Amino acid sequence: MENKIIDESKQGEVLVMDVLTSSASKNGKKLFLESYGCQMNFADSEIVASILMKEGFSTTSNAEEADLIFMNTCAIRDNAENRVRQRLQDYKKIKRSKPELLIGVLGCMAERLKSQLLEEEKLVDIVVGPDAYRDLPNLITQAETGQQAINVILSKEETYADIAPVRLDKNGVSAFVSIMRGCDNMCSFCVVPFTRGRERSRDPKSIVKECQDAFEAGYREVTLLGQNVDSYLYSGGGLKKEILTDEQKANSVNFAQLMKMVALINTDLRVRFSTSHPKDMTDDVIEVMAKYENICNNIHLPVQSGSSKVLEMMNRGYTREWYLDRIAAIRRIIPGCGISTDTISGFCGETEEDHQETISLMNQVKYDFAFMFMYSERPKTLAERKYKDDVPEVIKQKRLAEIVALQRQHSEYHTRKQVGNITKVLIEGFSKKSEEMLMGRNSQNSVVVFPKGNYKRGEYVNVLVTSSTSSTLIGEVV
Ligand code: SF4
């Protein structure tokens, strides 16, 4: 996901969650919550905070003073899980001085490993999968009696639609709103279908209400989240889209319609979304983006590989030609739309020719931004069962380095092209480098920094871009 702030799978930071407005603890207990991985996990941590604050917990950003430490984890790659295991070692010291401290592992690593995690990590008291957060109060009570507590049951219905998340972001401007859970695609390299279960779409009324509440609370941007937002389809009866009649489909709400409903909340509320899937992205989604100014002109469209042979082995469900047709549709309907992607280097059986097809596709598309990885074999995935992880590590690294270098050129090409333009920016806060400068993003999701003047977070300003780096536009308000 394009937001590099929190994405563990994108080598990002780990985010310590502390409620913007810390509340007094009703049960005198404090929760320290760390979130790893993608934005979906971040949004889930806000649900966890909401459930526990109802139980009287308050949050703290200091692990030493916590009564309960929760790590909401990612399982997308080996290193994501290794980081959690390392972090557990840090907590060993705290637990030694505070034996009543409870430690819980939540999220995808918990779901992937289940009770094995309790056997391997004696420090861990509670293990909870992404669909079992409602059971947290009960599991905590269980663990407080000294028993190990676990719930990793995946659900076909759970969307937490009735739970208002407690916002844990740092800027109070941009909020994540999950619109669906799980994934029905079985990309051969991916663990998500095993850790997040079958796909289910959330009631659009509860999504619109959450966005409305966010706007009234001062947020000026929402990012609609799903593993594959293009297959969002709410039919009311929880019926699977495969068995819906045409009439039921006609009465259902699809992603394009949902985006329109959210865009109509207020023209000052920007709408972003992630993640799209090339095989399901339709023109009507792109047309709704073009019609509403407050739906941002930015699409994250993971390609993974430029070789149709490799795409077939990845079970991605589209070919190089189909993908390029989707890119052409975006460029035709929204000229200047920001496009980002994900790529995997060194997938099973990838030849130098296949790699060159990824390079040539990147040259053809020229992405604004990309998240680029080496293939990391994951247990129990289709690829692990069917294919040999036969591309040597040194070749994977060489190919990844070539792709990273090429993407840097393309990112620079796009930011340089914006010099001299005036672009509308939503202010998110101070720039990382100086408190004299403010930062925000434009509709294409480019980061823009400019002198702070008397402007404030959450305001929209027009910025004349005067210079650029490969990742940032620099300018002044006009
Ligand atoms: S679409 Fe593919 S890569 Fe994305 S979450 Fe689903 S299975 Fe994983």
Task: Name the residue of 77, 108, 183, 380 to mutate for ligand 1: max ligand atoms within 8 A of Cβ.
Answer: 183
Q: Which of 187, 200, 312 to mutate to test the pocket of ligand 1 (most atoms within 8 A of CB)?
A: 187
Ligand 1 atom with the smallest distance to the CA of 228 is 1
283-291 helix and 320-333 helix, angle to the nearest 10 degrees: 20
Whichever domain contains 451, its CATH number is 2.40.50.140
229 close to ligand 1 (CB < 6 Angstrom): no
Choose among 163, 176, 133: nearest CA to 37: 176
CATH number at residue 71: 3.40.50.12160
Scan for tokens 């934005």, then name that residue.
Answer: 39
Count the neighbouring beta carbons within 10 Å of the beta carbon of residue 33: 27
Q: Is 378 in the pocket of ligand 1 (CB under 6 A)?
A: no
Query: Which three-class secondary structure string do you get for 8-24?
Result: HHHCCCCEEECCCCCCC
Domain end call among 120, 151, 182: 151
Q: Evaluate whether residue 185 is within a structural domain.
A: no
Asked if residue 341 has a cis previous peptide bond (ω within 30° of 0), the answer is: no
Neighbours of 82 (CB within 10 A): 10
279 falls within a domain: no
Residue that is last in its domain, among 90, 124, 151: 151
Q: Which atom of ligand 1 is nearest to the CA of 196?
A: 5
| Residue 31 covered by a domain | yes
Kindly tell me the burial class for residue 467, based on how many C-beta atoms sit within 10 Å of its own C-beta (0-12, 13-18, 19 or more): exposed
**Ligand 1 pocket residue status of 391, Cβ below 6 Å:** no
Contact between 236 and 252 under an 8 Å Cβ cutoff? The reply is: yes
Would residue 416 count as lying in a domain? no
Alpha helices (H) in 180-220, listed in sequence order:
192-196, 204-216
How does DSSP classify residue 199? -
* pLDDT at residue 4 in the model: 37
What does the block give as tokens for 123? 């420090």
Residue 468 has a pLDDT of 97
Residue given tokens 């995946």 in the structure block: 154
Per-residue pLDDT of the chain (478 residues; tens, 9 = 90+): 333 333 334 444 455 545 444 455 678 899 999 999 999 999 999 999 999 999 999 988 899 999 999 999 999 988 999 999 999 999 998 999 999 999 999 999 999 999 999 999 999 999 999 999 999 999 999 999 999 999 999 999 999 999 999 998 878 999 999 999 999 999 999 999 999 999 999 999 999 999 999 999 999 999 999 999 999 999 875 555 667 777 777 789 999 999 999 999 999 999 999 999 999 999 999 999 999 999 999 999 999 999 999 999 999 999 999 999 999 999 999 999 999 999 999 999 999 999 999 999 999 999 999 999 999 999 999 999 999 999 999 999 999 999 999 999 999 999 999 999 999 999 999 999 999 999 999 999 999 999 999 999 999 999 999 999 999 999 999 9
Which of 126, 151, 176 is the C-terminal boundary of a domain? 151
C-alpha 306 to ligand 1 mean position (Å): 17
- Max Cα-Cα span within the chain: 65
pLDDT at 20: 44
Residue nearest to atom 2 of ligand 1 (CA): 187
Element (H, E) at 397: helix 393-417
Contact status, residue 148 vs residue 116, Cβ threshold 8 Å: no
Q: Please indicate whether residue 195, judged by its CB atom, sits closer than 6 Å to ligand 1.
A: no
Tell whether ligand 1 has an atom less than 6 A from the beta carbon of residue 183.
Answer: yes
Assign residue 116 a region: left if phi > 0, alpha if psi is -120 to 50, beta otherwise? alpha
List the structure tokens of 128.
Answer: 């909870």
Extract the tokens encoding 190.
């991916």
Q: Residue 86's pLDDT is what?
A: 95
Site to probe by mutation for ligand 1, drawn from 41, 112, 190, 198 as the one with most ligand atoms within 8 Å of Cβ, is 190
- Integer-rounded Cα Rg, in Å, for the chain is 22
Give distance in angstroms: CA of 309 to centre of ligand 1: 18
137 CA to centre of ligand 1 in angstroms = 31
pLDDT of residue 168: 86
Contacts of 213 (CB under 8 A, 6+ apart): 164
Q: Which of 307, 328, 330, 331 is nearest to 318 (CA)?
A: 307
Residue 59's CB is within 10 A of a number of other CB atoms, namely: 24
Instruction: Look at residue 102 and tell me if it is in a domain.
Output: yes
The conformation of residue 258, written as its DSSP 8-state character, comes to H
Q: Which residue range(s) make up the domain with 463?
A: 422-477
| 301 in contact with ligand 1, CB cutoff 6 A | no
Does any ligand 1 atom lie closer than 6 A to the CB of residue 60? no
In the DSSP assignment, the letter for residue 166 is P
Q: Is residue 106 included in any domain, yes or no?
A: yes
Contact 32, 63 (CB under 8 A): yes
Q: Are the C-beta atoms of residues 227 and 191 closer than 8 Å to each other?
A: no
In a domain, 104, yes or no: yes
Beta bridge partners of 48: none
Domain count, the chain: 2
**Ligand 1 centroid to residue 74 C-alpha, Å:** 14
Residue 117 lies inside a defined structural domain of this protein: yes
CB 371 within 8 A of CB 400: no
